DNA sequence: TGTTGACCTGGAGTAGGCTCCAGCACTTAC
DNA sequence: GTAAGTGCTGGAGCCTACTCCAGGTCAACA
């Protein structure tokens, strides 16, 4: 498989794939006689995993570290698992935070919907959910 | 409240607060005789809301649009609600995706744990969860 | 009155993660 | 044999979201 095909299958741009290779996230890329990169089907699994790590906020640098351990073979299994476990904690924190934000935005939408239904303005204090320390405030335009 | 205090309360750096003002995310900042920015307590609620939007992936540019509508007062309530509703969809998608990634990473960790417990290598195909189209693959180092 | 600390401005620099480009090489189909 | 399509390289450029800096002002306190 050449880079165009890999790009299609992974939905990463050709430039991105070359960039990932450059920084060490994709390794051991062989070439054909013409100098074209030739990829093994199995690389797709790794790239999909990279996308998962990326989607969960791991910086490329950390993934490169992980990739290097992976290159070193089975004796780094423990290290890689530790990295993933740390990252897993991070994902859980993210999920919880995102859920909180989800609920806050939902509440805010409901406030708007209510205000529109009533024909009223947004009530004073409608931002309360977003402040740790407030009792009552003037809120001319509301958030 | 001066900028140092606001920075402490919002946990945004002074530079960030000035930057947000520059791009129009924080408006109507008054000054004292000496030219120092003076903030109203009520601004904190808006900043906390901005942090929620940011944490859920809204670009600053979009927030600036929202902020401008907000400046225009109650007649933009419907527009603002629409923006939030669109963004809410986005948050739901994110949550679902993050949950999927969470589960995949968890599964991967379990595979590692199993391998370590067995003293075995990571089994062939342990990346299956990360590929749409694969049956079996050679997987010398596993992902 | 002097010093210290907080604040001001404009503008440059940074980090992360790509994205684009010029100029060239190779392959494939007609 | 030639044109189209795909690929190559090195390096510059871009976008977002800050972050830092120099050089200056102002206020509060001793």
Instruction: State the nucleotide closest to B61 in CA–C1' terms.
Output: D16
Instruction: State the nucleotide closest to A15 in CA–C1' terms.
Output: C19
| Chain D positions with a protein C-beta closer than 7 Å | 6-9, 16-21, 25-27
Whether A74 sits inside 8 A of B121 (CB atoms) is yes
A78 touches chain B (CB under 8 A): yes
A89 touches chain B (CB under 8 A): no
From CA A21, how far away is CA B113, in angstroms rounded?
Answer: 29
Closest of B84, B112, B105, B64 to residue A94, by C-alpha: B105
pLDDT for A121 equals 65
B96 touches chain A (CB under 8 A): no
* Percentage of chain B modeled with pLDDT above 70: 83
A42 touches chain B (CB under 8 A): yes
Of the candidates B77, B91, B121, the beta carbon closest to that of A112 is on B77
Asked if residue B11 keeps its beta carbon closer than 7 A to nucleic acid strand D, the reply is no
Nearest CA in chain B to A102: B91
Asked if residue B71 keeps its beta carbon closer than 7 A to nucleic acid strand D, the reply is no
A117-A123-A129-A132 Cα dihedral, nearest 10 degrees: 180
pLDDT for B118 equals 83
CB A43 within 8 A of CB B115: no
Query: CA A98, C1' D16: Å apart?
Result: 21
B11 touches chain A (CB under 8 A): no
Q: What is the pLDDT of residues B69-100, one digit of tens each?
A: 999 999 999 999 999 999 999 999 999 999 99
Residue ranges of chain B assigned to CATH 1.10.1660.10: 1-71
Q: List the structure tokens of B6.
A: 């606001």
pLDDT at B142 over 90: no
Q: What's the CA angle centered on A89, arms B128 and B96, to 5 degrees?
A: 60
Task: Specify which residue's alpha carbon is closest to the C1' of nucleotide D7.
Answer: A36
pLDDT at A81 over 60: yes
pLDDT for A119 equals 77
Nearest CA in chain A to B70: A141
State mean pLDDT over B35-53.
Answer: 97
pLDDT at A132 over 90: no
State mean pLDDT over A73-81.
Answer: 94
* Rounded alpha-carbon distances, angstroms, from residue B125 to A46, A50, B131, B139: 11, 16, 10, 7
Question: Considering the domain A1-71, what is its CATH architecture?
Answer: Orthogonal Bundle (1.10)
| CA dihedral (B69, B72, B77, B79) positive or negative | negative
B119 against A21, higher pLDDT: A21
From CA B54, how far away is CA B115, in angstroms rounded?
Answer: 39
Query: CA A98, C1' D20: Å apart?
Result: 31
Whether B70 sits inside 8 A of A141 (CB atoms) is yes
């Amino acid at each position: 498989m050449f880079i165009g095909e890999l790009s299609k299958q992974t939905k990463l741009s050709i430039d991105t794939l070359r960039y990932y290779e450059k920084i060490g996230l994709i390794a051991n890329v062989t070439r054909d006689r013409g100098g074209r990169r030739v990829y093994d089907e199995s690389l797709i699994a790794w790239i999909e995993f990279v996308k998962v790590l990326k989607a969960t906020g791991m910086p490329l640098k950390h993934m490169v570290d992980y990739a290097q351990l992976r290159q070193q073979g089975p004796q780094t299994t423990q290290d890689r698992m530790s990295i993933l476990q740390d990252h897993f904690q991070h994902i859980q924190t993210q999920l919880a935070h995102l859920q909180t934000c989800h609920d806050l935005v939902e509440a805010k939408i409901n406030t708007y919907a209510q205000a529109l239904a009533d024909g009223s303005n947004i009530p004073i204090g409608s931002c309360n959910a977003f402040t740790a320390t407030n009792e009552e405030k003037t809120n001319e335009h509301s958030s």
